[in-house]
A and B are shown apart, each in its own frame.
Chain A
Amino acid sequence: MTLRFADKLVFGLLFSAAFLLLISLLLFNYGEALAFYVLATTMLLSAAGMILVRDLIRSAFLLALCFLALGGLYVVLNAGFLAAAQILIYAGAVAILFVFGVMLTGRQHIPEHEFDFKFLTLIFVALGFFALLARGLWNGTWKLSAEPAQADLNTVAAIGERFFSQYLLPFEIASLILLMALIGAIVVARKEPDHERTA
């Protein structure tokens, strides 16, 4: 893990260049673009890293980083409540659940797929899917709202109102789903008592 002096120099130059770029973007009032690009890059890199890194525990932590960056993107999108929920649920609970899962199943070495025809097809499917969708979405015309969203809208109160009026039924169903998942997860994952194992 020790870096040579030349490596340090290169890293330092890269970092300072990136820093200068960020500062100049900020000074020219492109704060939103800046936040978007920084967070989006972090998110995509950590997501890609999660897939590519061999060490499973590292990929679980990279997943947590990806969720954190997503929370930041939600802040940029004026959805503060969702950002907090995202970090609380995903980074604070789901990612930790995955870390637990990795620890409990042991880090057995599972060889990656060999680089064969099937593998190539999958890469092409993913890339092609991205190209097709991205092109369509980028060039599409969207019925945008005339007035931009207010940044200081109290979304918590507004979302709460929606939950208890318009979306009451889905809300209740969601709570039922959570209860079912809770019971189901316990039943599936618990140790079987000895008298049940004989069956």
Chain B
Amino acid sequence: MEMIEQLFVMLKQAALALPQALLPAELYARYEGMLSLVIGISAILVFAPATMLFLTWMERKVVARMQKRYGPNRVGKFGALQPFADGIKMFMKEDIIPKAVDPLLHSLAPMVILIPAVMIFAVMPFGKDMILVDLNIAILFIMSISSIETIAILMAGWSSRNAYSLISSLRAAAQVISYEIPLGFSMVAVLMMAGSMSTLDIVLAQQGGWFVLTPWGFLGFLIFFLSGAAEVNRTPFDVPEAESELVAGFHTEYSGMKFGLFYMAEFLGAFAIAAFSITFFFGGWLDPFEPLLGFAILPSWLWFMLKTYVLVFVFFWFRGTLPRLRVDLLLNFAWKYLLPMALLNIPIAALWFYLPAGPIRWVAGWAIGGSLIFGMHQLLTYHRVKKLYGRYERPSRPVVTESVPLKS
């Protein structure tokens, strides 16, 4: 068990053994940190495309099942080799650059969008002792890195010289900037309770119980997950790349591998949002049964992957179920619903912090916090529902009258 648990750490040690044997001891000591970073970065650079390949296959399979189709089933068993076939197709395709585009910005945009998508993996705790860098500003790092993607989207949309692309990139920028605010606020409660911005400390702070079980954690998770879905343009928040209205939005004019890079950034973003929801609210790589049983059932990295893929599945579930939101409703949802809720979440977390630990905290915290959340929800939705219905003819209720006897 211990060996499986430490599998990847041991692999890294094995990779480090070669330079240790070759270099003089003094030189090795100086560059050990740098070498281990290089190994970690290479691991992530292998992991990220592999994840993307798997996710494309999984999405097609899952959505197909929901729509009573088979999904890819021609290449390999269960179509498992389909992503490789797609990858080869993308590499072989001609890279068409339309005449009207701004060539520099047009070819720069896919690279710019991929860099932050991969960089975010640097602070992701995949398992025990499996984090590339334990930054003490990890939360801020996540937010600032993900905000760079907007620049790339604007770049792609503008340089394409295509009205659809431009509209899409403007929508994307408005959406990402709006949803960044509730996203940030939902993490404030987490860092207040963990007392640190480091993702590792946040995971370790959940040893006493996952954050999602507390009222502020529950609300925070919902806000984080929804705004995260909007940040990475997943359905139902995918107005920027709405196929039915904008063709494909900002990546309409891309073909070949450049389109592949956009595709990859999108899937990596979805994976990252799921993984960070797990890290912040579902105990990261912690084994939920370990405190009860006294021993670990599965290695920590497997727990992390299991939990993350459950949330990734929820993303695909959304895609298979929910219709797309209208643009104005989308922005209203961010500013008039998620933002007040996220602000409310902070006092609830403060209340939780000052309640004495023990059963009282759970009962009183959930009673007060839950009623506050419910009240706020009612307050915010009452207004909207009223406004929404005010515009249309309300379906009149069947009026119950006394039965009139038919004339004979």
Contacts and interface: CB of A to CB of B under 8 A. Distances in A.
A88 B151 contact: no
Contact of A95 (B102, B103, B151): B151
Interface stretch (A6-14, A96-104, A110-118): A96-104
B135 A80 contact: yes
Interface in B125-173: 135-137, 140-141, 143-145, 147-148, 150-151, 154-155, 158, 166, 170, 173
B103 to A, nearest CB: 4
Interface string A71-86: 1000000001100110
Interface stretch (A36-44, A56-64, A131-139): A56-64
Contacts, number: 70
Contact of A87 (B104, B105, B147, B158): B147
B28 to A, nearest CB: 13
A84 B177 CA distance: 16
Given A81-B137, A85-B140, A156-B136, A96 B173 contact: yes
B197 interface: yes
A88 B137 contact: no
The dominant DSSP class at the B interface is helix
Given A1-B103, A80-B137, A100-B173, A87 B144 contact: yes
Nearest to B139: A84
B142 to A, nearest CB: 9
A91 interface: yes
Contacts of A1: 97, 103-104
A81 B140 contact: yes
Given A91-B147, A92-B150, A96-B154, A103 B137 contact: no
Nearest to A88: B144
Contacts of B197: 156
A96 B141 contact: no
B144 A84 contact: yes
Interface residues of A, number: 26
Interface in A24-77: 29, 55, 57-58, 61, 64, 68, 71
Contacts of B103: 1
A4 B315 CA distance: 46
Contacts of B155: 61
Interface string B192-207: 0000010000000000
Given A100-B173, A103-B170, A156-B197, A91 B151 contact: yes
Contacts of B145: 87
A64 B173 contact: no
A100 B154 CA distance: 9
A145 B145 CA distance: 33
Contacts of B148: 68, 87, 91-92
Interface string A131-169: 000000000000000000000001110000000000000
A150 B75 CA distance: 56
A87 B158 CA distance: 22
A26 B90 CA distance: 37
Contacts of B143: 84, 88
Most buried by B among A1, A85, A92, A155: A92
Contacts of A29: 30
Given A58-B105, A88-B143, A91-B148, A99 B136 contact: no
A71 B136 CA distance: 16
B192 to A, nearest CB: 11
B299 to A, nearest CB: 30
Interface string B88-112: 0000000001000011110000000
A103 B161 CA distance: 12
A84 B105 contact: no
A61 to B, nearest CB: 6
A8 to B, nearest CB: 16
A179 interface: no
A158 to B, nearest CB: 11
A119 B151 CA distance: 33
Contacts of A96: 150-151, 154, 173, 177
A91 B102 CA distance: 21
A21 interface: no
A85 B180 CA distance: 14
Contacts of A85: 140, 144
Contacts of A61: 105, 151, 155
A167 to B, nearest CB: 19
Contact of B158 (A81, A91, A103): A103
A96 B97 CA distance: 25
B105 A93 contact: no
A84 B104 contact: no
29 contacts: A58-B104, A61-B105, A68-B148, A80-B136, A84-B143, A85-B140, A85-B144, A87-B144, A87-B145, A88-B144, A88-B147, A91-B144, A91-B148, A92-B144, A92-B150, A92-B151, A92-B177, A92-B180, A93-B177, A95-B151, A96-B154, A96-B173, A100-B173, A103-B158, A103-B166, A103-B170, A154-B136, A156-B136, A156-B197
